[in-house]
Amino acid sequence: MKIDVYNSQKGRLETIHADITDQNSSWFEDCENDDDVYMITDFKGCILVSDFGYNYPILIYDVSRKDIDYDRHKAFLLKNQYL
Work out the average pLDDT over 57-78: 96
Q: How far apart are CA 47 and CA 23, in angstroms?
A: 14
Q: How far apart are CA 10 and CA 22, in angstroms?
A: 28
Beta bridge partners of 4: 15
In this prediction the pTM is 0.91
Q: How many residues does the structure list for the chain?
A: 83
Number of domains in the chain: 1
Over residues 11-59, the pLDDT tens digits come to 999 999 999 999 999 999 988 989 899 999 999 999 999 999 999 999 9
The boundaries of the domain holding residue 64 are 2-82
pLDDT band at 68 (very low <50, low <70, confident <90, very high): very high
pLDDT score, position 83: 83
